[in-house]
Amino acid sequence: MNTPTAPLPPTRRAPDGTAGHALPLPAIDRHALLALPAQARQVPEVRHFITAHTLHWGLPKEDQERAELIGSELAANAARHGRSDMSVHLTMTASTLHIEVTNTGPPPLPYGLPPPSPGESGRGLHLVALTADEFHIPPRKEGWRTHAAVNTHPIPHTRPASPQQAA
Q: Is residue 88 part of a domain?
A: yes
Judge whether 115 lies within some domain: yes
> Does 77 reside within a domain?
yes
Q: What single-letter amino acid sits at 7?
A: P
- What pLDDT is attached to residue 83? 75
Instruction: Give me the torsion for CA of 37, 105, 92, 19, rounded to 10°.
Output: -40
Is 118 contained in some domain?
A: yes
Domain coverage including residue 89: 25-166
Q: Cβ neighbours of residue 55 under 8 Å, at least 6 residues apart? A: 15, 64, 160, 163
80 φ/ψ angles, rounded to the nearest 5 degrees: -70, -40
Q: Could you write out the DSSP letters of every residue in 25-82? A: PPSS-EEEEEEEES-GGGHHHHHHHHHHHHHHTT--HHHHHHHHHHHHHHHHHHHHH-
pTM (2 d.p.): 0.70
> Residues near 47 by Cβ (< 8 Å), separated by ≥ 6?
68, 71, 72, 75
CATH of the domain at 60: 3.30.565.10
pLDDT at 161: 56
> Is 60 within the bounds of a domain?
yes
Element housing 106 (H / E): none
Per-residue pLDDT, 1: 44
pLDDT of residue 84: 84
Q: Name the β-bridge partners of 148.
A: 99, 135
What pLDDT score does 63 carry? 95
Chunked mean pLDDT (size 10), the chain, 167 residues:
40 45 60 94 96 94 95 91 89 94 71 52 77 87 87 65 59
Q: Which residues of 27-44 are buried (b: 16+ CB within 10 A; e: fewer)?
A: eeeeebebebebbeebbe
- Looking at the structure of the chain, the number of domains it has is 1
103 falls within a domain = yes
Please answer whether residues 30 and 152 qualify as being in contact, where contact means their C-beta atoms are separated by less than 8 angstroms: no
What does the pLDDT read at residue 143? Answer: 79
Query: Is residue 7 situated within a structural domain?
Result: no
- The burial class, CB within 10 Å (0-12 / 13-18 / 19+), for 70 is buried
Would 69 be classed as within a structural domain? yes
Q: How many other β-carbons are positioned within 10 Å of the β-carbon of residue 116?
A: 12
